[in-house]
Amino acid sequence: MDWSYTIWIPLLPLIGFLIIGFVGRKLPYPVPGLIGTTGIFGALVLSYITAYRYFFVANTAGSFEPIKGVEMLWMTFSDKLHFNMGVLLDPISVMMLVVVTTVSFLVHLYSIGYMKGDPGFGRFFTFLSLFTFSMLGLVVATNLFQIYFFWELVGVSSYLLIGFYYEKPSAILASKKAFIVTRFADFFFLIGILVISYYTGTFDFLTLNGMSESTLASVGSASFMGMSVLALGLTLAFIGGAGKSAMFPLHIWLPDAMEGPTPVSALIHAATMVVAGVFLVARLFPMYYHVDGGSVLHIIAFVGATSSLIAAIIATTQMDIKRVLAFSTMSQIGYMMLALGVSGYEGHHGLGYTASMFHLFTHAFFKSLLFLGAGSIIHAVHSNYMTKMGGLRKYMPITHITFLLAALAIAGIPPFAGFFSKDAILDAAYMHNKIYFWIGWFVAGLTAFYMFRLYFRIFWYEDREYHHTPHESPLTMTLPLMILAVLSVVAGFVFFYFLPFGTYITPTGEEFHMHIDYFLAGISVLVGIVGIVIAWIMYFKKNDKAEKVAKAFGAFYKWTYNKFYIDEIYMFVTKKIMFGIISAGWMWFDTYIVDGSMNLIGNTTVKTSHALKKIQSGKLQDYVYGVVLGVVALAVIFIYIWTR
């Protein structure tokens, strides 16, 4: 089968980016939006065609082999060192194509309404198209170099979009923070890539994943600090993934990234870019599983579980609705990481991997729906703080219903999407390690609680007076909400019963049968309902129970409200210790020796030139005088030479 057309999936948004960026930015509303949306719509259609052909036409034998749709040489340095670019089609990349193009298309559509009247309308769509191109390039990467290349591109576009409102100092700070933190993590990723490719001699994912346990053990036989080098390389790569996916303790950028426009939060910081870390681990999963007997996976599971717990606890206390959603995202990505970390490889043991991808898939829909709903609310109320909201259900019926559906989905209530994927994750955790299961179970309860706290606080709680009566958003904004709401409702059982994920997306490519463990499902739904009921008691009607509970927790509440002071710890470490103590000597050297010598050269030049410029007097006769003197001098010299 011919797959060469798949190159157009990332290229169409790139063309959109170039057109809007170079000629379309000043075009009147809504032309730049339409150009961007058209480009991504083309990519969407091609992705769906690819998914259909890949899953239902090309691979009918029940096993899904990776296919290289396109592969070309990008740069050659020597015979051994050359970089390729291409399109790799395998179950997870095809699934990611569908997720990214779907969410991106709906977010583009939504943004046409949301960004109306913004002076940066064209600029917004330029960056959004750039991001979509980068993300699509990332998911179809055929090798470590290509994934790193696009990894940095999504980082840049995320930076540009977080800092979109560049008049606001807080947005600038947030964009810098996001860029520096993720870049710091990417540095480890780069070292990881170098280590892995140095020892295995290849960048190619198929070659890397195709290596058997014994091959990996022999090529990575060197050891470093008690780990084999390949395990070290994979751990470093995971640190890069953890930075992008906002895992504890590199999560500090994600809540601040909410300074960007809300559609950006929905697309980048909920559905696509932040799951790049999960995708990276899944992409190299056979390697993670085989190197050192899967020791790196233990780290991943631990980090995932910790992040999901910490984020869920913080989310229960935040007052900014977008920050609640940001911490919720971090918590759900922690779930995905946990699922990958506890996953086995063959057959039904690969459930964790499948569950992780399944949760990534469903989460993309309901979390972007929550963010877009939040955007719709912010659009109407002009505030991010839930204290400024309440009783909105009467004013915004569509947003209300879609938000409720998404909240039910994330709370894991059957038959909504989140139930199936979360149940699969808990199932996988239970098979591996009971402690992880109970952490996941507790987080499920917390998730239901904070999500319904948000829901009740925004849409019920009290009937308050608004300065401007809030109104429902226009159709370009509510249509994506409705589509995503439908997906959030059906994505779970359709992909559990009719097109089961276990058939299509597994570590080995061989299908296995997914089923529900009714005991585990029962207790996780139970804890979800308990969370919802507590939220209902505390926030359904205006009362002071929430304050009382906060008081009862005392210092712990204060800690949590301040996000466990992790930002402050970072500030202390960077400002006081690194800048203040460690680099003070270098600072002195840099200021006085390096800068000093350069300033000396510069100042000398300036002073000399000030003196010399007097020569250019502008007076014609001075110049002629110079010429005559020169001629006389030359004449004397020549006469002296010739008459000697």
Partner 1 sequence: MIQGIGVTDFFIISTLMFFMGVYGFITRKNLITILIAIELILNAVAINFVIINKYLYPEGLHGQIFSIFIIAVAAAEVAIAIAIVIDFYRTHKSVSVEEGEMMKY
Q: Is 624 in the site for partner 1 (CB under 8 A)?
A: yes
590 vs 419: CA distance, rounded Å = 57
Residue type present at position 432: H
Nearer to partner 1, 80 or 614 (CB): 614
In degrees and rounded to multiples of 5, residue 463 shows phi and psi of -95, 110
Q: Greatest CA span in the chain, whole angstroms? A: 118
Return the structure tokens found at 105: 């298309």
Judge contact between 436 and 305, C-beta under 8 A: yes
Q: Is 606 in the site for partner 1 (CB under 8 A)?
A: no
Nearer to partner 1, 319 or 624 (CB): 624
Nearer to partner 1, 467 or 613 (CB): 613
Nearer to partner 1, 72 or 624 (CB): 624
CB of 8 to partner 1, least distance (A): 59
Number of residues that bind partner 1 (CB under 8 A): 11
Among 553, 556, 625, 638, binds partner 1 (CB under 8 A): 625
Return the structure tokens found at 515: 């089923």
Burial of 561: CB neighbours in 10 Å, binned 0-12, 13-18, 19+: middle
Write the interaction track for partner 1 spanning residues 156-195; mark x where CB under 8 A is met and - where it is not.
Answer: ----------------------------------------
Judge contact between 441 and 527, C-beta under 8 A: yes
Q: Is 618 in the site for partner 1 (CB under 8 A)?
A: yes
CB of 636 to partner 1, least distance (A): 15
Pinpoint the alpha helices (H) of 342-393: 351-381
Q: Which residue, 339, 533, 364, 520, is CA-closest to 441? A: 520
Write the interaction track for partner 1 spanning residues 449-468; mark x where CB under 8 A is met and - where it is not.
Answer: --------------------
Applying CB under 8 A, the span of 277-285, 411-419, 561-569, 608-616 interacting with partner 1 comes to 608-616
Write the interaction track for partner 1 spanning residues 200-239; mark x where CB under 8 A is met and - where it is not.
Answer: ----------------------------------------
First to last CA, the chain: 91
248 vs 139: CA distance, rounded Å = 24
Nearer to partner 1, 5 or 625 (CB): 625
Q: Is 611 in the site for partner 1 (CB under 8 A)?
A: no
Residue 347 makes CB contacts below 8 A (sequence gap 6+) with 508, 510, 512
105 vs 372: CA distance, rounded Å = 13
Q: Is 620 in the site for partner 1 (CB under 8 A)?
A: yes
Nearer to partner 1, 556 or 625 (CB): 625
Among 467, 513, 614, 644, binds partner 1 (CB under 8 A): 614
The continuous run of DSSP H or E covering 84 comes out as strand 82-89
Among 1, 613, 643, 644, binds partner 1 (CB under 8 A): 613
| Count of other CB atoms within 10 angstroms of residue 527 | 21
Among 80, 513, 619, 644, binds partner 1 (CB under 8 A): 619
Tell me the CB-side half-sphere exposure of residue 312, using CA atoms within 13 A.
Answer: 27
256 vs 264: CA distance, rounded Å = 13
In the DSSP assignment, the letter for residue 273 is: G
Among 617, 630, 635, 637, binds partner 1 (CB under 8 A): 617
Q: Is 616 in the site for partner 1 (CB under 8 A)?
A: yes
315 vs 343: CA distance, rounded Å = 27
Nearer to partner 1, 597 or 617 (CB): 617
Judge contact between 31 and 61, C-beta under 8 A: no
Nearer to partner 1, 475 or 624 (CB): 624
CB of 629 to partner 1, least distance (A): 10
Among 194, 628, 634, 635, binds partner 1 (CB under 8 A): 628
CB of 611 to partner 1, least distance (A): 11
Nearer to partner 1, 63 or 605 (CB): 605
335 vs 304: CA distance, rounded Å = 6
Applying CB under 8 A, the span of 79-87, 388-396, 561-569, 610-618 interacting with partner 1 comes to 610-618
Burial code of 81-101, b = ≥16 C-beta within 10 A, e = fewer? eebbbbbbbbbbbbbbbbbbb
- Segment 460-519, which members bind partner 1 (CB under 8 A)? none
> Which residues of this protein are in contact with partner 1, per CB under 8 A?
613-614, 616-621, 624-625, 628
